[in-house]
Structure 1
Amino acid sequence: MDLQLTGKRALVTGSTSGIGEAIALTLAAEGTSVIIHGRNEAGAERVAEAIRTNGGTATIVLGDLSDTATVGSVADRAMAAFGGSIDILVNNAGSLESKPWFYSTPADWVDNYARTIGPMVQLILACVPGMKQAGWGRVIAISSGLASSPQTVTAAYAATKAAELNLSVSLAKELARTGVTSNAVSPGTIWTSGLERDFRAIALQLGWPDDASQWPALFGAEDGPFAVPSGRVGWPADVADLVTFLASPRSGYINGANLRVDGGYVPTVN
């Protein structure tokens, strides 16, 4: 299937590793010019070089999105990179903070919201007007299964992810009949290098083989810690493939949706 993405321009925040990296690489493989964003220059260079080596087009914009002034600079530099505007905005950047309910302060909740929702809104306000003027665009929020099925140890983080779903729907309504769509993607447990580091102790405690390539299936098995109906935890490519389709002209009738990529783990109908 031709996704008709050749010549489109995308900003993927937090794309120096993990899910964001996979999204950037997959978009580029479909012909999209991609702006790699993050705080790690070496990681950004590595992803950009991988794209260029495969014949794609990539540029780098570094910046910490927790700083309001920096967000504005990231938006300006990203839009200038490929001719003054972008067609696709993937709001992926974020960090998972685990604190039990009664160990989280009100300041923790406010800080989580400010670091997650604030930059997302600021980038939308900066980038979407150009999409509206062009009559076409895609805004995609990378949320989480925790938005629909929160856990006590990630309460503040999960609440911000639920806000991302709400934001995506209200934005879709605001952009009605403009040619610009807004959707959210909610990954479940995705096997990134960071997750492997975090769960190594659990795997070794359970007496699993030292070969980490076997762990995704063991974690997702019926008697595993996650018991994913699909029989494994996810790979970054599972998310990237869906995001790339949503970013394409082929997805024009999907709007204001939350699409889960979790192997059936979250027990809800949406």
Structure 2
Amino acid sequence: MAQRLQGRTALITGSTSNIGRAIAEAFAREGAHVVVSGRDEARGAAVVDQIRANGGKADFARADLDGTSAASHTLAAEAAELVGRVDILVNNAGIYPPSSTPTTDEETFDRVYGVNVKAPFFLTQALAPAMIDAGAGVIINLGSWIARLGIGVSSLYSSTKGAMETLTRAWAAEFGPQGVRVNAISPGVIVSPDWDGTHPGEVMMQGTPAGRSGHPDAIASAAVYLASDDAQFVHGTVIDVDGGRTGVAVIAV
């Protein structure tokens, strides 16, 4: 069976753990040369070693994407140095501080918008021109189900993900006619290694069609689809991978 991303290169931000790592490993299995990126060099090396052990191609580029243009452009340059032109960019890195509107200070507000919105904006700014010059490229953003289904916590985080979903549509209009496809994935409640069955996220999935939280591999599968030629006619869309949480009425159980 042919690998769907054979011969392509990909940069995935925040790919040293969880969803980002799953996307990096899935891309590598499909033949892409992956640049794993994150702040933790040890975790990054572990992801690269695992991909290589499975016969894939991967390198690590350390990055602390704080929202400054310089940090994003530096990562873009390092990725290009490792693999040449980046064919696929996945804007995955993000932070989720546990704060309510009354308890959010200005420093926290600026930090969350810096990491979750400004960093991917300037990284896209840095990498899109080469994609346009080549007449081909893919950008995948990570949104969130709580960008469109309000819950009583995480107003700051959800607003940043709403911004990324809006940028997805705007960038599709801006870059699509020049050969660059831009889409997004909206994950639902995705399990983390430190969760157990009593985590609030598990409770929120009760009564949904899936009836449980999702695994990072579900998001990775959607990312492979959007990055591949299977999605060549898909522009400016947000794919919900959330077990039916936003699309179906949830029945209390």
TM-score of the superposition, structure 1-length normalised? 0.86
Is 2:36–2:60's contact at 8 Å kept on the other side of the alignment? Answer: yes
Matched with 2:224 is 244
**Deviation per CA, 1:134-166, whole angstroms, max 9, x where unpaired?**
111100001111111132310011000000000
Matched with 2:83 is 82
- Counterpart mapping for 1:56-95 below 5 A: 56-66=56-66, 68=68, 69-83=70-84, 85-95=85-95
Aligned partners of 1:268, 1:72: CA distance in 2, in Å? Answer: 40
Aligned partners of 2:241, 2:125: CA distance in 1, in Å? Answer: 27
Matched with 1:226 is 205
Aligned partners of 1:192, 1:114: CA distance in 2, in Å? Answer: 24
- Counterpart mapping for 1:47-62 below 5 A: 47-62=47-62
- Counterpart mapping for 1:9-48 below 5 A: 9-48=9-48
Letter of the structure 2 residue corresponding to residue 82 of structure 1: V
Aligned partners of 2:87, 2:248: CA distance in 1, in Å? Answer: 32
Aligned partners of 1:25, 1:101: CA distance in 2, in Å? Answer: 36
Matched with 2:102 is 102
SS in structure 2 of the partner of residue 176 of structure 1: helix
Higher deviation after alignment, 17-26 or 227-236: 227-236
Aligned partners of 2:80, 2:123: CA distance in 1, in Å? Answer: 11
Is 2:96–2:112's contact at 8 Å kept on the other side of the alignment? Answer: no
Matched with 1:261 is 241
Is 2:176–2:235's contact at 8 Å kept on the other side of the alignment? Answer: no
Aligned partners of 1:41, 1:16: CA distance in 2, in Å? Answer: 9
Inter-CA distance 3–169: structure 2 relative to 1 (3 Å threshold): farther
Aligned partners of 1:116, 1:257: CA distance in 2, in Å? Answer: 19
- Answer with 1 or 2: which has the greater Rg: 1
Higher deviation after alignment, 233-242 or 185-194: 185-194
Aligned partners of 1:61, 1:159: CA distance in 2, in Å? Answer: 28
Letter of the structure 1 residue corresponding to residue 150 of structure 2: P
**Deviation per CA, 1:188-213, whole angstroms, max 9, x where unpaired?**
1101215x1xx57x46xx9xxxxxxx
Query: Number of matched residues?
Result: 247
Is 2:176–2:182's contact at 8 Å kept on the other side of the alignment? Answer: no
Aligned partners of 1:113, 1:64: CA distance in 2, in Å? Answer: 14
Is 1:3–1:250's contact at 8 Å kept on the other side of the alignment? Answer: no
Is 1:151–1:158's contact at 8 Å kept on the other side of the alignment? Answer: no
Is 2:67–2:113's contact at 8 Å kept on the other side of the alignment? Answer: no
Higher deviation after alignment, 111-120 or 236-245: 111-120
- Counterpart mapping for 1:152-231 below 5 A: 152-194=152-194, 196=195, 202=198, 219=202, 224-227=203-206, 228-231=208-211
Deviation at 1:58, TM superposition (A): 0.3
Letter of the structure 1 residue corresponding to residue 231 of structure 2: S
Deviation at 1:231, TM superposition (A): 1.9
Deviation at 1:107, TM superposition (A): 4.6
Aligned partners of 1:237, 1:133: CA distance in 2, in Å? Answer: 32
Inter-CA distance 184–67: structure 2 relative to 1 (3 Å threshold): closer
Inter-CA distance 31–74: structure 2 relative to 1 (3 Å threshold): same
Is 2:67–2:118's contact at 8 Å kept on the other side of the alignment? Answer: no
Percent identical pairs in the alignment equals: 35
Deviation at 1:63, TM superposition (A): 1.3
Q: What RMSD over aligned residues (CA atoms) do the two structures have, in Å?
A: 2.0
Aligned partners of 1:25, 1:185: CA distance in 2, in Å? Answer: 17
